[in-house]
Structure 1
Amino acid sequence: MTIKGRWFDGKSSKSCDALLVLNDTGRISVTDAASHEVLIEVDTAELDISSRLGNSARFVRFANGSAFETVDNAAVDALQKSWHKSTGQGLLHKLESHLGLVAVAAILVIVLVVGGAVYGVPATARLIAFQLPQNTLDTVAAETMGILDRTHFDDSELSDERQAQLQAEFKPVLAQYPDMPLKVEFRKGGDSIGANAFALPDGTIIFTDEMIELSQTAAERIAVLAHEIGHVAERHSLRAVIQNAVLGFVYVTLVGDGTAMGDLLIGLPVLATTMSYSRDHETEADVFSAQFLDHAGIERQAFVDLMQRLGDTMRCNELIDDAKDVDEDALSDTERLALCETLIAEGGDEDDSQWQDYLSTHPGLKQRLIDFTAE
């Protein structure tokens, strides 16, 4: 019996075409296919033959570290049967060869992966986030704040008097959460950030000057503050980092070094999942804010009014940026507002579609505000 394959001496990466032969004496020899030199000859009892798994290559290993590789699985099975040894067609090979079982296994894998991504990863991230000590939160927040200050924020242009007024306004709200080291700071967001508010893991909440200017009442600012406290209470920023890290690890493990297009297509589910997590976090913070406003006797409409104003402002900026022959710097506030109204009237109003919602890190504004005011 002769089997074709390749020979590896076990001492270097070199290999050669070879023939494995079962001699009349019952011994196994491997010879160089070109020179017919005998490379090794041993008794069959000294062989270690890898189990069969589908049509993958099999290895016949020898005690001195050398090995013979072949894809002729049928011949290897026949070789083993010739001296009444198990062919190595174990459970894995039987399962892999059964199409029905393969289909069931594939469905189970999909269910486990999806279930893990939707439920397992968020639950695990939440558990880990709430086990981290405060000094870890302080370190993460300090690094994040340093990056934001270098790349996006400028010093606040609000006067010291105005900042003191705002701190006095926020103080009673912060005092209601003594277990959290909450504090409020102000920064100028500029063109890249604009009107916004952020919550860092250590309890620092950032209001941009633009958000303060956009708000019209203390109730609106308190509603936003309560929303950001919700992010701190639920440790959303840490959970997001942990969730994205886990998904990224799984992605790299499954995909490896694919092509750029392959990475893009396979990475889309990961992107969609992380966006879904962000929307869930925003919804949780909205619920926290709504409950606070109800307890404080503040109408939920305060949050709705500010969010609608923020949405209109962002949409206005988009429309003007897309408009041709418009010098934004030359526009007064009145002219800017009039231009926005004109552009929207011409059909530039945003459609809060399902696709926009799906590709957003925040819930769709219209549905979000409907949910916020719902009982």
Structure 2
Amino acid sequence: MSLPGNYLDGRSQIGKAVMLQRNVHHLVFTDGVHTHRYPAREVSFHPGRAGRPDRLQLPDGGIIEVASAYQCQQLTGHLPLAARLLEGLRRCWPQLRLAGLLLLLLACWFGYRNGLPWLASEAARRTPPAVEQAMASATLGLLEKTSTLRPSRLPDSRQQALQQQLQQLVPGNSPYRYHLQLVDARELGPDIIPLPGGQIIVTDQLVRNSKSPLEMQAMLAHAVGHIEARHGLRGLIRSGGVSLAVNLFGGDRSTLLAVAPILLADMKYPADFEAEADAYASRLLGTQSLCARDALLVRLDGPDHSAAALLAAHPGNRQADTASHCAAQAG
């Protein structure tokens, strides 16, 4: 930045037009012939009075008259603190604008990553169980239309035993009435689908592939863990985003009931939901039950891919290290 001024050397009353500049820690000015340099800290600023120009007092007695007090103070480093801060903001504005944009993007990402799950949990907590039961009924109706679901062919005694197993896994303070919907579903293959409100769909194909009561008990306990934690409803709200959660807070559940059957019929729970369901089953039946469940999943992971839907919902439970750990624990 350059600033014009009138230089008086203190010996002559005739001034010279000069251009002032700031060079790091020095004030430099030239009249086109001679160049003068003074340490900026030794130059003092004096505001003009009664229409007189502002002045810079040089250490050798010379004076420079200037027309712009602000630019003069800026050159000599005598700006007030507030003005220096504003000037710094002006110079750094492009960088500050970029930093603000990055902070906004970071806040949006953090809000989506952490705020939306919290919002989904709160909205689910405020949703009555009757709404979840309506969602489950609509989902079952959709599955009956799109898949070949037939009445279970399991013996009555086996069906009753499974129903009793399920009731033993339900906590006493549960707000839901649990029911096991056993179906013969060759198209679905071995599968278990926990629906909100306490309804669990289990295919005959899954029951027939289990080799011990503990394997089915572990699968049922895992499903109950999903329902008690309201994972189906929370997963729907996460998928629907902030607008769906806000609608639920406002009491509007029509959108939720409209999208629930489509999403619930093929829902894959995230890793944190799976961990919560595993923790519930482990508290009820011990860690050995998880090993029994994993053994069943490993056995179903065959070349015919008949249990593709079930295995896709539990991608981390059939790894070789999991199976070896469970085998070592059993030994």
Map residues 235-250 of structure 1 onto 2, 5 A cutoff.
235-246=230-241
Partner of 2:221: 226
Shift of 1:179: 3.9
Equivalent of residue 278 in structure 2, options 286, 293, 299: 286
Whole-Å separation in 1 of the counterparts to 2:227 and 2:280 = 11
Matched, 1:136 2:128: no
Partner of 2:317: 365
- Structure 2 SS opposite 1:185: strand
Conserved? CA contact 1:198–1:205, under 8 Å: yes
Matched, 1:182 2:175: no
Conserved? CA contact 1:126–1:239, under 8 Å: yes
Map residues 148-187 of structure 1 onto 2, 5 A cutoff.
148-155=143-150, 156-174=152-170, 176=172, 178-187=174-183
Whole-Å separation in 1 of the counterparts to 2:219 and 2:111 = 32
Aligned residues: percent identity? 28
Partner of 1:317: 304
1:36-65 CA-to-partner distances (Å, cap 9, x unmatched) read: xxxxxxxxxxxxxxxxxxxxxxxxxxxxxx
- Structure 2 SS opposite 1:99: helix
Conserved? CA contact 1:220–1:303, under 8 Å: yes
- Structure 1 SS opposite 2:270: helix
Shift of 1:248: 8.4
Whole-Å separation in 2 of the counterparts to 1:276 and 1:194 = 17
- Structure 1 SS opposite 2:180: strand
* Structure with more relative contact order (C-alpha pairs < 8 Å, separation 6 or more): 2
Conserved? CA contact 1:195–1:210, under 8 Å: yes
Map residues 100-139 of structure 1 onto 2, 5 A cutoff.
100-139=95-134
The one-letter amino acid paired with 2:153 is E
Whole-Å separation in 1 of the counterparts to 2:271 and 2:320 = 10
Equivalent of residue 308 in structure 1, options 268, 278, 298: 298
Whole-Å separation in 1 of the counterparts to 2:166 and 2:199 = 13
- Which structure: larger Rg? 2
Unaligned 5+ runs, structure 2 = 1-88, 246-266
Shift of 1:237: 0.7
The one-letter amino acid paired with 1:309 is R
Shift of 1:149: 1.4
Conserved? CA contact 1:278–1:362, under 8 Å: no
The one-letter amino acid paired with 1:159 is P
- C-alpha distance 127-367 of structure 1, shift in aligned 2 (>3 A): farther
- C-alpha distance 361-166 of structure 1, shift in aligned 2 (>3 A): closer
The one-letter amino acid paired with 2:231 is H
Partner of 1:99: 94
CA RMSD between the two structures: 3.6
Conserved? CA contact 1:194–1:208, under 8 Å: yes
Shift of 1:177: 5.5
* TM-score, normalised relative to structure 2: 0.56
Whole-Å separation in 1 of the counterparts to 2:225 and 2:280 = 5
Matched, 1:197 2:192: yes
- Structure 1 SS opposite 2:304: helix
- Structure 1 SS opposite 2:177: coil
Whole-Å separation in 2 of the counterparts to 1:158 and 1:105 = 63
Shift of 1:159: 3.2
Whole-Å separation in 2 of the counterparts to 1:121 and 1:159 = 45
Unaligned 5+ runs, structure 1 = 1-93, 251-274, 322-356
Shift of 1:318: 4.1
- C-alpha distance 318-276 of structure 1, shift in aligned 2 (>3 A): closer
Q: How many residues align?
A: 214
Partner of 2:61: none
Partner of 1:63: none
- Structure 1 SS opposite 2:200: strand
